[in-house]
Chain A
Amino acid sequence: MAHRIGRRKNVKKGFQFTLMVVGASGLGRTTFINTLCDADVVPKRECDEPEMAHVEEAIKIKPYTVELDEDGVKISLTVVDTPGFGDMIDNEYCFQEILGYLERQYDDILSEESRIKRNPRFRDNRVHALLYFITPTGHSLREIDIELMKRLSPRINVIPVVGKADTFTPTELADFKKRVMEDIEHHNIPIYNFPYDPEEDDEETIDENSELRSLLPFALIGCEEEIMVNGRKVRGRQYPWGIVEVDNTQHCDFAKLRFALLSSHLQDLKEITHDYLYENYRTEKLSRSAENLSD
């Protein structure tokens, strides 16, 4: 309920939201970001010289900020892209890079909070949600998927999504989603699953959250071009056998995810980041320094 009250208060000022996107290249990450913002935020990947194709590129962390207008509400959205994740032959060090970035943002807040004279123009760069792109193998989670989500979920709200979901027929998609959720439960990975309180919350909230929870992991298709379908312009991909529409909820979950991230659950994600994830980090860090001092 808190998120609705918050919205009314801040509508004039607008919101700030930071989203990180992680996934192997070729899963539609960049296209998703551009589709989400309906603009060319992230430039298309420049493929290097073929002679250099064998050179492994380490992961890079690249934030982009864009101003959006959602039904009259201003949102300053920062999207953090992570090109190079999972692209090397040995990917053991990807996790630490991302974790390091997330913790550095927390460290900045921590040191700012402890200042006597605080900077009024201090910018909060904490990341509020992480969209993890699962490779659409059709089987189940891969080792790198499990490792990443496990390692990062103590520091950030992890929301698993399936990239390039137009690889699946409807039955295949349903089976894959089911297996992925089974894997997540089996490995005890605490993802953001649109929590609600069956006793405290009203029916509308419960329904809304249950529906979103049942869609996990969100099936995504991205497309920046517009094509004509039956006389109207749609964002879609044209195959010889048909057209997949990005904004059609029968084809994929893009529209629902976008609404959840930028409208209905924006506040909740921020609150969990601040009240829970950041607090945990703060406690751990301060206890560690206390231990170090007493040694």
Chain B
Amino acid sequence: MVSTQAGAGIGIANLPNQRHAIASKKGSNYTILLCGESGLGKTTFINTLFTTTIKTPKTYKRRFNNTAEKTVEIEIIRAELEEKQFGVKLTVVDTPGFGDYTNNRDSWMPIIDFIDDQHESYMRQDQQPKRQELSDMRVHCCLYFIRPTGHTLKPLDIEVMKRLGTRVNLIPVIAKADTLTPTDLHKFKKRILEVIAAQNIQCYTFPLESDDEASTKRNMNIMAAMPFSVIGSTDDVVTVDGRTVKGRQYSWGVAEVENEDHCDFKKLRQLLIRTHMLDLIHSTEETHYENYRRAQMETRKIGEPKVKTVTNPKWKEEEEALRKRFTEQVRLEENRFRSWEQQLIAERDRLNKDLEAEHSHIKALEAELESMQVGLSPKQRK
């Protein structure tokens, strides 16, 4: 190893600055997936996070026009943000319909498929001769919104989080945390962490150790707050002591978004944007993508398309229903034929009976005739 002395440097020390210049020109792709039942404040949260309306709130006027389709959709919203000349191509993926139905069996499939598809798409593009303009929608982090029941994670949460954790940087979030008192929140967080550990759910972690002590302390603070409690609000309200803040105004007080005693929003924002955005992006590319690629490469050749198992659960239901109808129809037709056959048999028997009756009638007449003839002939002979 050759070390250069201070003052006689060759310019390696300037590399970080150069990299910064290159990165800020190129900007960055950042994809966040929001997962959770409707009504947990996902839209409000994302708008609060980026202090702009990324996604418009739900309208209710057309809710009665709902078709019978009970599916989980993947909604993609794109935005281009810029701050201090650094541009971010933000993609927010929402999952309306997840967890909203009476039967939520397999409702996570479209979400899992979406995540895998992005890895797949990137992999395929990367294998093309021309790979300058790659469209990269690989999900860098997934925020899973937990309902603030105060009890524990639901079976549905566990099923989905298990599958998400192995594919994407999973960050659990306690939604609408202003429903929980500090004691309730503390108990809830503790229990969620116990369940996550016991069920082997892989959540996002990052290296805590850093060059300076302040960063290390900050990192540890952030990790300790997981799962993050959030309150979302894009409205300005006035607190009891006259400050104007982003918050929610109740009859009994104002819950503030950026007050660390009220919720962990600030810590989460720090994680997602200020300090760990790069780590989220890198770990997606280096760990999750590589895992996917390796798993696929082991079984497939370059260029071969993915074998798609179309296992949409709603289609399975339809298939079942159709099969039932079909068997029902067949049964009805068979019954119809059987009764028709029986009718014919009955008819034949009846006709046979009549025939026999006629036959015996004829025989009787013949016998009568004969007897009459016998009785007659001797007379004739006289």
Contacts and interface: CB of A to CB of B under 8 A. Distances in A.
Interface stretch (B15-23, B102-110, B271-279, B332-340): B102-110
B345 interface: no
Interface residues of B, number: 51
B199 A167 contact: no
Q: Which of B37, B152, B154 has most chain A Cβ within 10 Å?
A: B154
Contact of B60 (A179, A242, A243): A179
A143 B101 contact: yes
A3 interface: no
The 9 A-B pairs at the shortest CB distance, nearest first, are namely: A26-B149, A137-B39, A242-B253, A242-B252, A50-B198, A241-B253, A50-B194, A50-B195, A54-B158
A143 B178 CA distance: 26
A89 B105 contact: yes
Nearest to A175: B60
Q: Which of A89, A166, A244 is the most central at the interface, judged by chain B CB atoms within 10 Å of its CB?
A: A89
Given A50-B195, A91-B103, A169-B249, A237 B181 contact: yes
Contact of A89 (B58, B149, B152, B156): B156
Interface in A88-102: 88-92
A81 B215 CA distance: 50
Contacts of A91: 102-103
A92 B103 CA distance: 6
B176 to A, nearest CB: 6
A54 B191 CA distance: 13
B252 A251 contact: yes
B189 to A, nearest CB: 13
B231 to A, nearest CB: 10
Contacts of A179: 60
B147 A26 contact: yes
Interface of A: 25-27, 45, 47, 49-51, 53-56, 87-92, 135-140, 142-144, 147, 164, 166-167, 169-170, 179, 183, 186, 237-245, 250-251
B149 A51 contact: no
A75 to B, nearest CB: 30
Nearest to B70: A143
B158 A53 contact: yes
**SS of B interface (majority):** loop
A240 B261 contact: yes
A8 to B, nearest CB: 38
A202 to B, nearest CB: 33
B239 to A, nearest CB: 8
Contact of B251 (A45, A135, A183, A250): A250
A56 B104 CA distance: 13
Interface string B242-262: 000000111111111001011
Contacts of A147: 102
Contacts of A143: 70, 100-102
Nearest to B153: A53
A87 to B, nearest CB: 6
A71 B158 CA distance: 48
A240 B262 contact: yes
Contacts of B103: 89-92
A166 B151 contact: no
A136 B250 CA distance: 15
B148 A26 contact: yes
A167 B261 contact: no
Contacts of B181: 237-239
Contacts of B159: 54, 89
B145 to A, nearest CB: 12
Contacts of B179: 164, 166-167
Contacts of B58: 139
B38 to A, nearest CB: 6
16 contacts: A47-B151, A50-B199, A53-B153, A53-B195, A88-B155, A89-B103, A91-B102, A91-B103, A92-B102, A138-B39, A140-B63, A142-B100, A167-B176, A169-B248, A240-B262, A241-B250
Nearest to A138: B39
Interface in B175-211: 176, 178-179, 181-182, 191, 194-195, 197-199
Nearest to B253: A242
